Structure 1
Amino acid sequence: IWNLDESSFKIGESMYWAYSTGPVGRLNNVSYESLELVTVLELISATGDLCKRLLIYERVNLMEAWFLQERQISIPVSTSSTAFINSKIFLSWLKCNFPFSDEWQLLLLDGHSAYIMDEFMQASITEAHVIPIYLFSHMTNMLQPLDCG
């Protein structure tokens, strides 16, 4: 049994409030943000096995200068115009990282539109012996292990 889920977070600097040099104690909204949205896709098994996470940045292209030359951990990285996963990114990552087997496996998914497509359904069931199980959108926080803390 495998569980796949995505989550987004922001990285960078942020400041919402600061005291000004104006009237004493007056709180001014400075509101500058240089936060960047990043989505992480994670796949974990019921036995605790992990696949490589995928990081998705809000960019058109990646530049090698953004990453350390000698990374100790190899994490797949992708980009999209929104920093969110889409079906193209999902299929590409899944084909390279899912531990396919001759035995049947269950894959728990939320109802994200990137995961619901004919190509994935056909390839997963007929070629990879993977049965996708889509959870109801308001039930994932209770039923999907990666949403439970």
Structure 2
Amino acid sequence: MPLPQAASSAIVRRADRVLLVRRINPPSQDMFAFPGGRGEPGESPDETALRELEEETGIVARHPQLFATYDLPGYDADGHLTSHFFLSVYTVEADSNAVVVAADDAAEAGWYTLDEIRGLPAPESVVECAERLLGQLQC
């Protein structure tokens, strides 16, 4: 049985769009998600979010603010626990002209509206965060 692991992700917003990457590796392989990943020993969750964002997109961000937390167990087809993450999601600030380059665990990266996100293969946590953050713009 896998032990829970700390993970973090970063939300970068530009007007009515947020930055998503298509993941290369499990968990969430081939799904669109906020840049993020596992924490390293001695690293705080907000440091993980900033590091993973830079590794996966080249964007250097600042001022991480905790936005949401998730307990994310993963199961195989037989119902056996295969992974377990405690995910901390942060909003961050980045230069509006920062150039995004997909790297590390990201096959591609792009800016997506809430309507586009709803049509993508994306984890529920990503859709929920996008709805909370961007849904108010559509009122």
- State TM-score, norm by structure 1: 0.26
Higher relative contact order (CA 8 A, sep 6+): 2
- State TM-score, norm by structure 2: 0.27
